[in-house]
Amino acid sequence: MNHIIAPSLLAADFTRLADEIQMVNDSQADWLHLDVMDGRFVPNITFGMLLIDAAKQLCTKPLDVHLMIVEPEKYVEQFREAGADTITVHLEASPHLHRTLQQIKATGAKAGVAINPHTPASSLEDIIELADLVCVMSVNPGFGGQKFIYNTIPKIRRIKDLITVRNTETLIEVDGGVGLHNAEKILQAGADVLVAGSSVFKADDPADAVARLKDIGGE
């Protein structure tokens, strides 16, 4: 399967947001990844529905909204109305994850589950059938530009095995510290979606960085 590239807007130049999104439109990127942080689930605050709404008006690609917030179920409908195509909530922030994924699907959005670096693949065993996407965090969520945590690789393999055994259509997304230096290993482990912030937006030629990530051979 051809993998999906999702540049993360967090690493963009916010004084030129429209230009940065235009670059995404003109590039081989498949989705635009948007990191919503609340200063409670993670130690950083970014943006909310207003920016998702603006991005929706500018971006021709699907919006992949990653909620790093407590009580995400309170805001699912608002993020969908703002333009989210996929809504991903953290397993660690969702005591009623089964219900929350159903709630996301009821809005018409695709439902994603994100897991922190310390959360094992086995924690997905009783939820995988409901997840359109699993976002495997390969850094501790909160900031762009961090180093990839390598024991994520065997975890991706275990999640891939789970998806194969259960025969679900779930996509595996890998988020944090992804770039040309490790993308091949990540894809070989079974990832379908690469989120790339710094390695795209901080590159001299961001569209070319997307094209190179897209070119890498995986499974």
By CB under 6 A, tell whether 109 contacts ligand DX5.
no
Stretch that binds Zn ion, among 14-22, 54-62, 66-74, 151-159 (CB under 5 A): 66-74
Exposure string for 20-37, b = 16+ CB within 10 A, e = fewer = bbebbeebebbbbbbbbb
What H or E segment, with its residue span, contains residue 66? Answer: strand 63-68
Q: Does 142 bind ligand DX5 (CB under 6 A)?
A: yes
Q: Do residues 124 and 160 lie in contact, with contact meaning Cβ atoms separated by under 8 Å?
A: no
**Residue whose structure tokens are 């998806």:** 163
Q: Using CB under 5 A, which of 61, 66, 90, 110 touches Zn ion?
A: 66
Which residue lies nearer to Zn ion by CB, 66 or 80? 66
Site for ligand DX5 in 177-196 (CB under 6 A): 177-178, 195-196
Tokens of 70: 């407590």
Report the sign of the C-alpha dihedral through residues 22, 90, 116, 127, in that order. negative
Choose which of 38, 73, 92, 175 interacts with ligand DX5 (CB under 6 A).
Answer: 175
How many residues form the binding site for Zn ion (CB under 5 A)? 3
Q: Which residues are annotated as a binding site for substrate?
A: 8, 66, 142-145, 175-177, 197-198
Catalytic residues: 35, 175
